[in-house]
């Protein structure tokens, strides 16, 4: 959803195509021709080029906007959070959500390590957001957009956000900044 939220916040015209991953739509020859990794999201630009991976896509569309700082250090810090989201947040928060909310797996069948790492990710975010209102700098960036996507749905995966007041407040700020309903 972060790609959609960014495009909406920027007022870009686009055509959203729902892709049923569970039905194997990302494994069709047509989809694989556009995105050999067989993953969503993927965008097809007006000139026919295709770009995959949500953080690469938001980085592309974020160029030249207030959401991606021009200062090299601040920009690097945004990318640091984007990489962290993909390697230390999403694999735990999103996977637990997928297993519980979409596959209907009972809480006691979710691997404890998954939940431990997810809580550790939330603890790191809470520490950062206790020290500052935004992940990078004095306003919202792509780092906030990328991390709010799964953080706001963490309870669907069994993660209680009650112990994380800074995260809860931040979610509201990010939703307001990007117009997320």
pTM, to two decimals: 0.92
Give yes or no on whether 2-62 and 72-178 have one common fold: no
List the chain domain ranges.
2-62, 72-178
Element (H, E) at 44: strand 42-44
Instruction: Spell out the CATH class of 2-62.
Output: alpha beta
Question: Which pLDDT tens digit goes with each residue over 70-110?
Answer: 999 999 999 999 999 999 999 999 999 999 988 999 988 99
Q: Checking DSSP bridges between strand 42-44 and strand 50-52, what pairing results, if any?
A: antiparallel
From residue 35, give the alpha-carbon distance in Å to each of 13, 43, 45. Answer: 22, 9, 13
Instruction: Spell out the CATH class of 72-178.
Output: mainly alpha
């Amino acid at each position: 959803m972060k790609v959609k939220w960014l495009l909406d916040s920027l007022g870009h015209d686009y055509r959203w195509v729902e892709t049923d991953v569970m039905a194997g739509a990302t494994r069709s020859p047509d989809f694989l021709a556009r995105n050999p990794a067989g993953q969503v999201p993927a965008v097809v630009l007006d000139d026919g080029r295709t770009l995959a991976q949500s953080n690469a896509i938001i980085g592309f569309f974020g160029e030249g906007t207030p959401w991606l700082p021009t200062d090299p250090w601040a920009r690097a810090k945004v990318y640091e959070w984007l990489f962290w989201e993909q390697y230390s947040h999403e694999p735990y928060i999103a996977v637990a959500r997928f297993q519980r909310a979409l596959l209907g797996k009972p809480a006691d069948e979710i691997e404890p390590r998954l939940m431990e790492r997810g809580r550790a990710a939330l603890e790191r975010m809470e520490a950062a957001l206790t020290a500052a209102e935004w992940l990078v700098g004095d306003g919202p960036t792509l780092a906030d957009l990328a991390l709010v996507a799964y953080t706001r749905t963490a309870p669907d995966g069994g993660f209680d956000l009650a112990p994380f007041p800074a995260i809860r407040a931040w979610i509201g700020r990010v939703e307001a900044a990007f117009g997320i309903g």
